[in-house]
Amino acid sequence: MAETTNVPSENKTLNCSNCGAPIGYVEGESVLTCEHCGSTTMLAGFDQIVTIQSHSIMRPRLDENSAVKTARAWLSEGRLKPSGLGDAADLRSVSGRVLPYWIVKSFASTSWRGMNRKTRTVGSGQQKRTEEYWEPTSGRFSENYTWPVYARENEAEYWGLKFLEPGQKCLFPDWRKFIFSFGMGSKTSPNANLLEGRVPFSLDGITDSGLKIVNGQIVQARAEETARARIVQSHDAKAAGKATRITDCDTTVTVQGTELVYLPMWEIVYGYGGRDYRVLVNAASGAVVAAEYPVGRTAKIVNFDLLFGILGGLLAAAGFGTGHHGVGWAGVALVAVAVAYTIISLVSGKK
Ligand SMILES: [Zn+2]
């Protein structure tokens, strides 16, 4: 429950333009929500105060206990996690926050040109050889977004805030020193509709829930700029995978509307095997948005055995099958390594 408070850089107050109640805020915060009536004010410049007409919230449905339950259920699933992790996870802290996001509804269209490296066989008979050549290629693609921009300066102040962005890595398996992970167990965020399910902002379900409203700092215009830049970056990265070399990539982003949406989140910190890990649960949808988790012993054994066992089996079959006994015995040795690893892992009882 420990809420980390930064060194207070000058606390200020302003009276709510709707109900008159004092709103406390810190220097630099410019999108303020009244904890009394729920109306939101945007400070745009020194004396210009704008009340935001349309701001909404994803109504929280999970309280603190249900969020912990959700996290434990999630930790109990999946073949990479240690068995029984859901029950064994040692609850360290739970923090509930209602976080301000600018959701930038937009359409992005990209056209790209590039070159593909190809090979062909030329000549005939003795002159026959393979040569390399470049072939021009091009294409276009487009996508609709409800792009989330965290409405504060420091995206890193709480863990997991940027993971809502489509394409961001959001699952982090901890393989420790085990190197044969093959990138398994991680995942990227989908391009989900972040405006779905929102309701006009009110404090229903927030007052006395343990969820703390976080004020925004970034105004709408800047959020739109950020969204445009991030979408262009993400389309550049996508285009890069379409040809050996991209020579030209042009993305047009049309912003169709921007809304301030408050997302309630529970951040749960748990301990396991001497380390701390985090799970972020969306209090409105009940989904696990992002998580870190230890990888269990069984998953490591399976990966190790698959690698060495299959490699060894293939070598052994190929070697003995063709009379190359040295190769065959090397294959047998690899299989033996796999078996030995399994036995040592099981006997040592290390997690
Ligand atoms: Zn008010």
Distance (angstroms) between ligand 1 centre and the Cα of 25 equals 14
> Looking at residue 126, what DSSP letter applies?
G
Distance (angstroms) between ligand 1 centre and the Cα of 225 equals 30
CA 60-268-272 angle, to 5 degrees, is 155
Helix axes 325-348, 297-321, angle to 10 degrees: 160
pLDDT of 51 > 80? The answer is: no
Q: What is the pLDDT of residues 144-187, one digit of tens each?
A: 999 999 988 777 888 888 888 898 889 999 988 888 877 788 88
Strand partners, 271: 90, 276
Return the higher-pLDDT residue of 53 and 66. Answer: 66
Distance (angstroms) between ligand 1 centre and the Cα of 38 equals 6
Q: What is the DSSP string of 273-313?
A: TTEEEEEEEETTT--EEEEEEEPPHHHHHHHHHHHHHHHHH
Which of the four pLDDT bands, split at 50, 70 and 90, describes residue 272? very high
Which of the four pLDDT bands, split at 50, 70 and 90, describes residue 4? very low
Single out the residue of 165, 266, 159, 150 nearest to residue 217, CA to CA: 150
- Cβ within 8 Å of residue 86, ≥6 positions away: 72, 73, 74, 75, 76, 77
CA 58-63-64 angle, to 5 degrees, is 125
Q: Which residue has the tokens 């073949």?
A: 79
348: three-class secondary structure by DSSP: helix
Torsion of CA 326, 331, 333, 337, to 10 degrees: 160
Predicted pLDDT of residue 232: 97
Distance (angstroms) between ligand 1 centre and the Cα of 16 equals 5
Predicted pLDDT of residue 7: 47
Distance (angstroms) between ligand 1 centre and the Cα of 20 equals 6
Distance (angstroms) between ligand 1 centre and the Cα of 40 equals 8
Which of the four pLDDT bands, split at 50, 70 and 90, describes residue 118? very high
Distance (angstroms) between ligand 1 centre and the Cα of 101 equals 20
Q: List the domain boundaries for the chain.
A: 11-294, 300-348
